Structure 1
Amino acid sequence: MFRRTAIAAAILLTAASVSVPAAYAAPAQVASLPTAAVALGDSFVSGEGAGAYAPVVDVNGTAQNFPGWSAPNSNAYFCHRSANASLHQANLPGIQARFNLACSGGRPYDIASASNTRDKGRTVASQLDQLRAVGQTHDIDLVLIGLGSNNSSFTFGDVATKCANRFIADAWTGWWEFWAYLGGPVEQAPCASGDLATDAQMAAATAETTNALRSLLTTLAEIDADGQHRVVFQDYTNPLPFDLQSSYHTADGRDDSRDKFRDLGAVRYAAGCPIHRASLSAGHIFSGNLGNLVRSAHTTLSAEFPGADLVYLNVQRAFDGARLCENTGSPTGTLATPIRLMDGPTGVFVTSLSGKDKIAIQRIANACVTYFQTCQESWHPNAAGHAVLGQCLSGAATTANRTVACVRSGTGSITVS
């Protein structure tokens, strides 16, 4: 895949972002340009959950450092581009520079348009404009793209919030209390697959994502110095198992099929998986459908761009055996971040809900709504998870196949085949 085999080792360049010039100029001669790998897309590529977030250049050309927990979530910094993202942890021989242009919460819209021109977007230039800037100074040899989990029909954050909130409501508040205190019912049933995304929404999201990826391939053909680059379409992995380990099934003699089970609610929150067991199947159907979305886009665009080097990377089994609440001791030893909230924009995560009443629970949950940055790391790959995804990317970067799956074995070894 990589053509400069004389380079003995990759040189890691942690580039948080790049400034976008007023006018695009043709790149310098290809022979003089260093090679680059670029990441585009959303949170599973930007490094959300992995910490070590770098400053991000906003639409005005200003590098935004951490602005404080109560700052607007639209701040460019909250793209959460991590030095621990999979792009930076992958072994990519021949690559001299790495640019993470992805943004947590990124949508297909953000590929060709500035994110701040849509609702709830961050103040960053379009990802293609940022890519054009890289193309002026580097020969782009590898592009990692993760796109589709957020779109005009649904977002991963909304899906996760919906199912977690239903569990919390069910755990802490009896049915009669909804009428007595809230004036009516509040949804507390487990999530069904149709609650997360309907077939029509998935179809719309697939078309939207495919159109954005088409614009990416067209732009790469225009700006890449030598016209040779591999594009890896990565899908998504579910942070939760198909079923919870048995120690998380009951607490104080109660399971989650009855009304009000606060002790169990506290146990699962502490372990990072505040979710009904009955919601897990719907969650895996949803993540599987996201895989189908990415696979469909890859198939469509491979036919439209027959000469392009496009690889579909399936990572849906990359966290097997190390998901939240799959084993005792969770979240220790897992590859995903637990759901974690704050009691206001304090910077201090609430790790236990034990002993808290429904008023405190509501206040803590509301902090996530008002200050989304206080909870946006929840249910994402952690630094160890991004290291695994880096191994997946390493395999996808060099494979002769155009469709590969990255699978974690029971011993923790990673295979890309």
Structure 2
Amino acid sequence: MLRLRPILVAALLTVTSAVTVAATPASASLPTAAVALGDSFVSGEGAGAYQPVADINGVAQGFPGWSAANSNPFFCHRSANASIQQASLPGIAARFNLACSGGQPYDMAGASASRTNGRNVKSQLDQLRAVAQTHDIDLVLIGLGSNNSSFTFGDVASECANRFISDAWTGWWEFWAYLNGPINQNPCTANDLATPAEVTAATAETANAVRQVLTTLAQIDPDGQHRVVFQDYTNPLPTDVLASLISEDGREDNRDKFRDLGAERYAAGCPIHRASMPPGHVFSTNLGNLVRSVHATMSAEFPGRDLVYLNVQQAFNGARLCEVSASPASALATPVRVMDGPSGVHLTSLSGKDKLDIKRYADTCITYFQTCQESWHPNAAGHAVLGQCLAAAATTANRTVSCIRSNGVITIS
């Protein structure tokens, strides 16, 4: 057997040690960081002030124009007003928003660009590893689960809004009216949004992705000192509209064609059947249960890790769209808004529009999804509220935190 001389062994150990230190610098010598991972509810969709996003080759992509492909990284819509940016986080030196609007569990370990309708960005874990080279990660916000292989929030929202708009402006027999054929004009049911089986599958898919996140964090954070906050979702709509939005010109939304009422609800930000709203809350409750379940599973699998579940389902109480008379101006969520072609001008009124106009607007949303993708997301004020919730979750001694808005005041329990 070949034996190495002592001096050579010592030299090899010295080189190996130097390489190890260079590859994984001591976290104590690095500035601290908070990082956001996940989908639109943490990326800042709806909050404006969107920042350039690096593509899969590392090239920063700014606004590419309204007619660009929706796969462009900019449409991740990472906002300077996102909750991760607005939260008071003492001791945190830098903040990194790696979330992407439309993000799915797949996107944690897989490049979003490699799946259908994904954006041209690296996996969020690859982006997280890059952050760990220059910063000590102390806080990670995860917002994940509303988009998955079974359903996506964008599809759910557009389904219910399109049913209402179609019902308001076109007869059920007018098959020509929309780009992809006739649209169901009945209110959405809970199963239309997500069946129990789909929620179960989405929970498992999300858990697997979060497991990969926690495993990666253990590998890249040398001191092992980081808190992971699992944030769920808040519904942008109440369980019913204001009394003033129930009928217009003697017509309610339970009959065929009610254009004045359709225009009125669109202006207020909530073009949706009243009968669709309770199922919508079943959907958001299911998303909350999904996140709670993933948190519980990870807490059992990774004992001793600093994992906190943040429940924000009641964080917008009293300030949802069509819940107050000044909606949408006083709401904490963005109204549904469309464009007439990729013009850059959102329509705030559909009053006086005919069904050909409506068809054109709907087709624009389908062809250029970025023209309407901000709809029904937290706005900048909403993200400020979510930032308060995150700040509390970052310092609490509890493993579960509820952030509730009551009479305009945010309380944490």
Q: TM-score range by the shorter chain?
A: over 0.9
1:73-112 C-alpha deviation (Å, 9 max, x unpaired)? 0000000000000001000010000000000000000000
Change (3 A) 1:65 1:174: same
Distance 2:238 2:90 in 1: 34
Distance 2:406 2:382 in 1: 14
Q: How much has 1:214 moved relative to structure 2?
A: 0.2
| 1:8 match | none
Contact 1:407 1:415 in 2 (8 A): yes
Contact 2:141 2:229 in 1 (8 A): yes
Give the total of aligned pairs. Answer: 393
| 2:350 match | 353
Change (3 A) 1:35 1:179: closer
Distance 1:218 1:381 in 2: 30
Distance 2:346 2:84 in 1: 27
1:289-315 C-alpha deviation (Å, 9 max, x unpaired)? 000000000000100000100000000
Matched, 1:319 2:316: yes
Task: Kindly report which structure 2 residues correspond to 1:195-214, keeping only aligned pairs within 5 A, or say none.
Answer: 195-214=192-211
2:227 alignment partner AA: R
| 1:333 match | 330
| 1:93 match | 90
Contact 1:25 1:136 in 2 (8 A): no
Change (3 A) 1:268 1:41: same
Task: Kindly report which structure 2 residues correspond to 1:359-374, keeping only aligned pairs within 5 A, or say none.
Answer: 359-374=356-371
Q: How much has 1:225 moved relative to structure 2?
A: 2.6
| 1:16 match | none
Matched, 1:60 2:57: yes
Distance 2:159 2:236 in 1: 16
Q: Flag the structure with larger Rg.
A: 2
Q: How much has 1:31 moved relative to structure 2?
A: 2.1
Contact 2:45 2:101 in 1 (8 A): yes
SS of the equivalent of 1:175 reads: coil
1:96 alignment partner AA: A
Contact 2:177 2:359 in 1 (8 A): no
Distance 1:40 1:186 in 2: 34
TM-score, normalised via structure 1 length: 0.92
2:409 alignment partner AA: S
Change (3 A) 1:185 1:44: closer
Distance 1:179 1:142 in 2: 51
1:329-353 C-alpha deviation (Å, 9 max, x unpaired)? 2101100000000011000001111
SS of the equivalent of 1:98 reads: strand
Matched, 1:80 2:74: no
| 1:405 match | 402
1:406 alignment partner AA: C
Contact 2:178 2:359 in 1 (8 A): no
Distance 2:310 2:276 in 1: 26
Contact 2:178 2:363 in 1 (8 A): no
1:95-137 C-alpha deviation (Å, 9 max, x unpaired)? 0000000000000000001100000000110000000011111
Q: How much has 1:287 moved relative to structure 2?
A: 0.3
Task: Kindly report which structure 2 residues correspond to 1:371-390, keeping only aligned pairs within 5 A, or say none.
Answer: 371-390=368-387
Distance 2:285 2:243 in 1: 24
| 2:268 match | 271
1:341-371 C-alpha deviation (Å, 9 max, x unpaired)? 0011000001111111111101100101100
Task: Kindly report which structure 2 residues correspond to 1:95-110, keeping only aligned pairs within 5 A, or say none.
Answer: 95-110=92-107
Question: In the alignment, which of 162, 167, 171 is matched to residue 165 of structure 1?
Answer: 162
Matched, 1:415 2:411: yes
1:360 alignment partner AA: D
Gaps of 5+ in 1: 1-23
Q: How much has 1:382 moved relative to structure 2?
A: 0.2
Contact 2:170 2:177 in 1 (8 A): no
Contact 1:27 1:137 in 2 (8 A): no
| 1:298 match | 295
Contact 2:162 2:183 in 1 (8 A): no
TM-score, normalised via structure 2 length: 0.93
Contact 2:177 2:355 in 1 (8 A): no
Distance 1:288 1:373 in 2: 27
| 2:5 match | none
1:145-189 C-alpha deviation (Å, 9 max, x unpaired)? 00000000000000000000000011011234449999x964100
Identity percentage over the alignment?
A: 76
SS of the equivalent of 1:142 reads: strand
Gaps of 5+ in 2: 1-20
Distance 2:214 2:183 in 1: 45
The list of structure 1 runs, each at least 4 consecutive aligned residues, that deviate by more than 2 angstroms after superposition, is 24-27, 174-182
SS of the equivalent of 1:259 reads: coil
